Amino acid sequence: MLGAADLYGARPTEVSGAHPPLVPAPCPDEPFRSDDDRLDTRAITASVAPGSGDRRFQVYEYVAGYRPGGAQAYLDELAERLGRCQNEEDHYSLVARDIGVPGTMLVQHDHQEDGTETTGLLRRCGELGCHPAPTGCTSDSYVQAARDADAPEHSYHRERGCDRKWLVMDISINGGPVCEEPGDCAGASRTTRYFYRATPTGWRVIAATTKPGCDDVLAAEPRFPRELCATLTAP
């Protein structure tokens, strides 16, 4: 959650989230199917004066935890309702998508009773946080990619090519016999090369190989760029 250091020194206080409704809910009389997957929620607010200026802004932050798949289910339902639920006293509209991070939604809320207008940025986060984007060419994104390949905890990964839309990464897994004393027997390492496609929620494996070049990935995905794999030797 945001703290004083993030809010120009203002100290946030916890709120219920009932008023104003922090979670966008077009057609509020219809329960969201994803409600049963929501595990916990917290909401804070703070009055902020950026740069010690005269103008003050009321900032709200809402964080919810979901069972696996629940957060994406909510965002999918929300996108559908933003296009369908138009004639309401509390009117929501989609301003933009993918603001800085894939999968984000910028939503505007117009409350007709008192004429207030709020704008909020929604984004789905995971174990690696929300930024940088899970499909960036960064060390955090490579950790996420290794997880998508079900790499064991003590494996090693090495990026071999990345352009933010496609990724090549070698993952090495140490293995060998169990020895009674250190140094009694030598271990072994097995390396597999994985090819990934970027999606709004992270890297997804499209092919794996122990061979050089591009043949295996192009058989699975002909659009994969040859320049990321043509000169690679066997992993």
Q: Is residue 133 part of a domain?
A: no
Domain co-membership, 109 together with 151:
no
Residue (of 103, 109, 104, 134) closest to 121 by Cα position: 104
Domain co-membership, 192 together with 218:
yes
Residue where a domain stops, chosen among 65, 94, 122: 122
Alpha helices in the chain (DSSP H): 70-84, 139-148, 215-220
Do residues 64 and 31 touch, judged by C-beta distance below 8 A?
no
If one counts the domains in the chain, the total is 2
Domain co-membership, 23 together with 118:
yes
What's residue 147's pLDDT? 81
Tell me the three state secondary structure of residue 162.
strand
Residue (of 133, 83, 88) closest to 107 by Cα position: 83
Domain co-membership, 99 together with 20:
yes
What's residue 177's pLDDT? 55
Domain co-membership, 144 together with 85:
no
Residue where a domain stops, chosen among 70, 88, 122: 122
Domain co-membership, 109 together with 144:
no
What is the Rg, in whole angstroms, of the alpha carbon atoms belonging to the chain? 23
What's residue 116's pLDDT? 61
Q: Which residues of the chain have pLDDT under 50?
A: none
Do residues 170 and 191 touch, judged by C-beta distance below 8 A?
yes
CA distances from 120 to 33, 59, 93, 143, 172 (A): 22, 10, 11, 29, 42
Domain containing 148 equals 139-228
pTM: 0.54
What's residue 86's pLDDT? 77
133-188 per-position pLDDT tens digit: 567 788 878 888 888 888 777 788 999 999 989 999 999 987 655 555 555 555 55
Q: Is residue 34 part of a domain?
A: yes
Residue where a domain stops, chosen among 79, 94, 122: 122
Q: Is residue 171 part of a domain?
A: yes
Q: Is residue 233 part of a domain?
A: no
What's residue 56's pLDDT? 80
Domain co-membership, 97 together with 18:
yes
Domain co-membership, 216 together with 145:
yes
Domain co-membership, 114 together with 191:
no
